[in-house]
């Protein structure tokens, strides 16, 4: 894709909460993309490099006019709100995927840090929670495949950590080949891989 064509598209980073979306936003900004963010949610112990969020992106169903200003830029949109993206705009979506046990562990740790104890999950509740997250992810993925104005790439959190330069190059190629893949890879902070998987006993 040419640089001019990419300037016409909106790049979106999406995924389940705690799946590495903030990490990918940081990588893309380091690689040369301008982010649509507002700093409303400051960095904290859960995301020491920042959340890279834009408050209006949480109100897409009722407030989507701003999307025109995001052409040629990148914005973070949670998976559940992808369905509200205006249909008259072309998108390139980076969909983050992470081990669902790790997603739950990270969410639990974040809630504990915020003073809202999540409580321990028994095996039955853990199985249900993982099944629910898997269903939500697959629903979003299936929907993305069906949209004529959307192309997307799936990026696994673990693979970014294991091979940041390889994954950075892959994402950069998907987005037209104009980003600095080495700068993207250097933005990966391995020290933040702190939440290991909650597992279901079988």
All structural domains of the chain, each given as residue ranges with its CATH number in brackets, are 3-188 (3.40.50.300)
Indicate whether 144 pLDDT > 50: yes
Angle at 135 between CA 50 and CA 16, to 5 degrees: 5
Its pTM stands at 0.87
Q: What pLDDT is attached to residue 115?
A: 53
Indicate whether 195 pLDDT > 60: no
Q: What pLDDT is attached to residue 194?
A: 55
Query: What is the residue-averaged pLDDT of the chain?
Result: 87
* Percentage of the residues of the chain whose pLDDT score is greater than 70: 87
Q: What DSSP string runs through 170-191?
A: HHHHHTTS-S-HHHHHHT--GG
Q: What are phi and psi of 74, to 5 degrees?
A: -125, 140
Q: What pLDDT is attached to residue 4?
A: 74
Residue carrying the six token digits 């072309």:
90
State the burial class of residue 155 (Cβ atoms within 10 Å of its Cβ: 0-12, 13-18, 19+).
Answer: buried
More confident residue, 114 or 153: 153
Are the C-beta atoms of residues 83 and 149 closer than 8 Å to each other?
no
More confident residue, 15 or 44: 15
Q: What pLDDT is attached to residue 10?
A: 98
Q: How far apart are alpha carbons 155 and 177 in whole angstroms? A: 16
Positive or negative CA dihedral for 156, 129, 82, 59?
negative
Q: What pLDDT is attached to residue 172?
A: 98
Q: What pLDDT is attached to residue 18?
A: 87
Q: How far apart are alpha carbons 130 and 180 in whole angstroms? A: 35
Indicate whether 114 pLDDT > 60: no
At 33-82, the pLDDT tens digits run: 999 999 888 777 777 888 899 999 999 999 999 999 999 999 999 999 99
């Amino acid at each position: 894709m040419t640089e001019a064509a990419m300037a016409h598209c909106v790049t979106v980073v999406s995924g389940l909460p705690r799946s590495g979306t903030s990490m990918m936003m940081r990588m893309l900004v380091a690689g040369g993309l301008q982010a649509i963010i507002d700093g409303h949610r400051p960095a904290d112990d859960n995301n020491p490099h920042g959340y890279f969020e834009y408050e209006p992106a949480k109100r897409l169903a009722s407030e989507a006019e701003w999307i025109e200003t995001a052409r040629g830029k990148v914005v973070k949109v949670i998976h559940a709100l992808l369905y509200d993206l205006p249909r008259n705009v072309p998108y390139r979506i980076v969909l983050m995927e992470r081990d669902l046990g790790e997603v739950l562990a990270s969410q639990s740790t974040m809630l504990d840090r915020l003073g809202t104890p999540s409580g321990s999950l028994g095996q039955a509740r853990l199985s249900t929670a993982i099944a629910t997250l898997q269903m939500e992810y697959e629903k979003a993925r299936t929907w993305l495949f069906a949209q004529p104005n959307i192309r997307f790439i799936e990026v696994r959190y673990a693979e970014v950590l294991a091979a940041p330069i390889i994954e950075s190059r892959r994402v950069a190629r998907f987005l037209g080949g104009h980003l600095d893949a080495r700068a993207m890879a250097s933005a990966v902070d391995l020290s933040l891989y702190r939440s290991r998987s909650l597992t279901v006993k079988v």
